[in-house]
Amino acid sequence: MSNGPNDRDLESALSVSVDDEAAERAAERAAARALDEGLADVAYATLDSPLGRLLVASTERGLVRVSFHTEQHEDVLNELVVRISPRVLEAPARLDEVRRELDEYFEGERKSFDLALDWRLSRGFRSEVLHKLYRNVPYGETATYAEMAADAGRPRAYRAAGSAMGSNPIPVVVPCHRVVATGGGLGGYGGGLDMKRFLLKLEGAL
């Protein structure tokens, strides 16, 4: 007598698979409808990357958050609830373009991002430094904390520039990994120095 699955077992397994797929599609449609009808203000999704699992979130303005696995994603979602809106919804389809561009970047096929950004989680001098970084330090190049402080108009505020990099809410896309210490050291990085080293090597800057 065979111990393998019989026809009824196979039908049951296929039925569960189909039901799961249908439920997933229904959830995606419901999420899209909620966003279209203004019932949610922040959409988020997760994706696998060479840096581990990332959480990405966007608003109607653009990409607002990229979070490494070194942060508790639940804490990140709570931050979005407190700082932006309690109406936060998992909606992977709304992050398709973000995920596609990040995949291309990690595969070495993309050197700049064509994404709208929502900068609201960074303010004051920190925001100024991050804007300068985003505009002025291209793929494959690096700058020092002191240079970034000077570029933002406060040459002696290199520690504050370092703080801006450490609190960057949109890492990788806003490339704080390209900012290094004077003298050639890596400096710090929110995701850890292994991640920073990986990104700099990916871009040929290390």
Tens digit of pLDDT for each residue in 76-107?
A: 999 999 999 999 999 999 999 999 999 999 99
Give residue 206's pLDDT.
83
Q: Which letter does DSSP use for residue 79 in this model?
A: H
Distance in angstroms (rounded) separating the CA atoms of residues 17 and 14: 5
Higher pLDDT, 74 or 6: 74
Name the percent of the chain lying above pLDDT 90: 76
- State both tokens at 196: 């920073």
In the block, which residue shows the tokens 């988020």? 44
Cα angle, residue 157 at apex, residues 65 and 193 outer, rounded to 5°: 50
Domain ranges of the chain: 9-106, 124-202
The mean predicted confidence, pLDDT, of the chain is: 88
DSSP string over 100-163: HHHHHHHTT--SS----B--TTS-HHHHHHHHHHHHHS-TT--EEHHHHHHHTT-TT-HHHHHH
Kindly report the pTM of this predicted structure: 0.82
The answer to whether 127 and 118 are in contact (CB under 8 A) is no
Q: How sure is the predictor about 1, in pLDDT bands with cuts at 50, 70 and 90?
A: very low
Give residue 11's pLDDT.
65
Catalytic residue among 176, 179, 180, 195: 176
For residue 28, pLDDT over 80 is answered with: no
Give residue 184's pLDDT.
78
CATH top-level class for 9-106? alpha beta
Residue 45: phi, psi to the nearest 5? -155, 170
> What is the separation of C-alpha 15 from the centre of its chain, rounded to a whole number of angstroms?
35
- For range 115-143, the mean pLDDT: 96
Distance in angstroms (rounded) separating the CA atoms of residues 86 and 82: 7
- State both tokens at 154: 């406060």
DSSP string over 129-143: HHHHHHHHS-TT--E
176 as an active site residue: the answer is yes
CATH topology of domain 124-202: Arc Repressor Mutant, subunit A (1.10.10)
Q: How sure is the predictor about 68, in pLDDT bands with cuts at 50, 70 and 90?
A: very high
Q: Which amino acid is at 51?
A: L
